[in-house]
Structure 1
Amino acid sequence: MSALLAQNGGSPVRTTPFPRWPSSDDEEARAIAEVLASGEWGSTHGEVVATFEREFASYQQAAHCVCVCNGTLALAAALRAVGVGIGDEVVVPSYTFIASAAAATFVGAVPVFADLDPATYLLDPAAAAAALTPRTKAVMPVHIAGRPCDMTAFTDLGREHGLAIVEDAAQAHGAEWQGRRVGAIGTVGTFSFQTSKNMSAGEGGAVVTDNDELADHLYSLANVGRVSGGGWYQHERLGYNLRLTEFQAAILRVQLRRHPAQQAVRSANAALLTELLGKVEGVWVPDAVTSVTAHGWHLFVFRLPGIGGAESRDAFVRALAAEGIPCSGGYQGLHRNGALRAEIASITGRLGQPYPEPELPATDLLASDTVWLPQPVLLGTEEDIHDVATAIEKVLRHLD
Structure 2
Amino acid sequence: MENNKFSRRSFINTLSIVGAGMAMHLPSIARGSSDNAKPALLGGPQARPWEFSGWPIFDQTEEKAVTDVLKSGVWGRLGGNVVANFEREYAKVFGAKHSLGVSSGTSALYTILGALDLGPGDEVIIPVYTFVATYNVVVLNYALPIFADTDIESFQIDPTKVAAAITPQTKIIMPVHIGGSPANIDQLLSIAQKANIPLVEDACQAHLAEWKGRKVGNYGLAGAFSFQASKNLNCAEGGAIITNDDAFAQTCYGFHNQGQGGQTTAYTPGAGTRATNVRLTEFQGNLLLAQMTRLQAQTKRRAENAAYLTSLLNGIKGIYPAKLYEGTTMSAFHLYMFRYDKAFFSGLPRATFLKALQAEGVPCDSGYGPMNRDTYVTGLAQNKHYLKIYGEKTMKEWQERNACPQNDKLTGEQAVWFFQNMLLGTRTDMEQIATAIRKIQKNAKALSKA
TM-score by length of 2: 0.85
* Among candidates 352, 369, 372, match of residue 332 of structure 1: 369
Which of 276, 281, 284 is the matching residue for 1:245?
281
C-alpha contact (below 8 Å) 1:151/1:186 kept by paired residues: no
Kept in 1, the 8 Å contact 2:183–2:325? The answer is no
Residues 157-168 of structure 1 mapped to structure 2, 5 A cutoff? 157-168=191-202
Partner secondary structure for residue 108 of structure 1: coil
Residues 261-270 or 359-368, more deviating:
359-368
Task: Give the aligned partner of residue 107 of structure 1.
Answer: 141
Contact between 1:91 and 1:114, CA under 8 Å: does it hold in 2? Answer: yes
1:303–1:14 Cα change, 3 Å:
same
Q: 1:311–1:364: structure 2 CA closer, same or farther, 3 Å change rule?
A: farther
Which amino acid in 1 is paired with 2:429? D
Name the counterpart of 1:72.
106
Name the structure 2 match of 1:62.
96
Question: After the TM superposition, which of the residue ranges 233-242 and 1-10 deviates more from structure 2?
Answer: 1-10
Does the Cα contact within 8 Å between 1:2 and 1:398 map onto a contact in 2? Answer: no
- Does the 8 Å contact 1:169/1:190 carry over to 2? yes
How far residue 33 of structure 1 moved from its aligned partner, in angstroms, is: 1.0
Counterpart among 225, 240, 246 of residue 212 in structure 1: 246
Report if the CA contact (8 A) 2:37-2:45 is conserved: no
Moved more, 357-366 or 294-303: 357-366
Aligned counterparts of 1:230 and 1:40: Cα–Cα separation in 2: 13
Tell which deviates more after alignment, 236-245 or 20-29: 236-245
User: What does residue 123 of structure 2 align with?
Assistant: 89
Q: How many residues align?
A: 400
Alpha-carbon distance between aligned partners in 2 of 1:204 and 1:86, rounded to the nearest angstrom: 27
Q: How far apart are the structure 1 equivalents of 2:294 and 2:263?
A: 32
Unaligned runs of 5+ in 2: 1-34, 446-450
Letter in structure 2 aligned against 1:247? F
The answer to whether 1:316 aligns with 2:350 is no
Paired residue for 2:31? Answer: none
Q: 1:181 to 1:3 in 2, by over 3 A?
A: closer
Equivalent residue for 1:342, pick from 366, 371, 379: 379
User: Helix, strand or coil: the match of 1:284?
Assistant: strand
Aligned to 1:351: 389
Instruction: Note the residue ranges of structure 1 that are not aligned, 5 or more in a row.
Output: none
8 Å CA contact retained: 1:223, 1:242: yes
Q: Which moved more, 1:282-291 or 1:242-251?
A: 282-291
Q: Which residue is 1:43 aligned to?
A: 77
Residue 5 of structure 1 deviates from its aligned partner by: 2.2
CA shift in 2, pair 1:78/1:6, >3 Å? same
Specify the SS of the correspondent of 2:118: coil
Residue 306 of structure 1 deviates from its aligned partner by: 3.1
Contact 2:78 2:263 in 1 (8 A): no
CA distance in 2, matches of 1:313, 1:170: 28
Asked if residue 362 in structure 1 is aligned to residue 419 in structure 2, the reply is no
Alpha-carbon contact 1:90-1:138 (below 8 Å) kept: yes
What TM-score do you get using the length of structure 1 for normalisation? 0.95
Where does residue 24 of structure 2 map in the other structure? none
Give the superposition deviation at 1:396: 2.1
Aligned to 1:200: 234
2:86 corresponds to 1:52: yes
Which of 341, 355, 366 is 1:305 aligned to? Answer: 341
Residue in structure 2 matched with residue 285 of structure 1 by the alignment: 321
- Is the CA contact 1:87–1:348 (under 8 Å) kept in the aligned structure 2? no
Q: 1:7 aligns with which of 26, 41, 61?
A: 41
Q: Secondary structure at the match of 1:301?
A: strand
1:25 maps to which residue? 59
How much has 1:233 moved relative to structure 2?
A: 3.0
Structure 1 residue 351 displacement after superposition: 1.8
Q: 2:153 maps to which residue? A: 119
Distance 1:269 1:117 in 2: 24
Selected match of 1:374 from 397, 412, 419: 419
How much has 1:95 moved relative to structure 2? 0.6
- Going from structure 1 to structure 2, the CA distance change for 1:311 and 1:168 (only over 3 Å counts) comes to farther
Percentage identity across aligned positions? 39
**2:152 aligned partner, one-letter code:** P
Tell me, yes or no, if structure 1 residue 143 matches structure 2 residue 177: yes
Higher mean alpha-carbon deviation, 390-399 vs 224-233, is at 224-233
Measure, in 1, the Cα distance between the counterparts of 2:299 and 2:312.
20
CA contact under 8 A between 1:177 and 1:291: conserved in structure 2? yes
Match of 1:273 in 2: 309
Instruction: State the AA in 2 paired with 1:296.
Output: A
1:214-267 deviation per Cα after TM superposition (whole angstroms, max 9, x unaligned): 111111111111103576233434321101111111111111121110111101
Deviation at 1:3, TM superposition (A): 10
- Judge which range, 17-26 or 337-346, deviates more: 337-346
CA–CA distance in 1 between the matches of 2:437 and 2:265?
Answer: 59
Q: 1:176 to 1:253 in 2, by over 3 A?
A: same
Letter in 2 for 1:352: Y
Q: Kindly state the Cα deviation for residue 155 of structure 1 after the two structures are TM-superposed.
A: 1.6
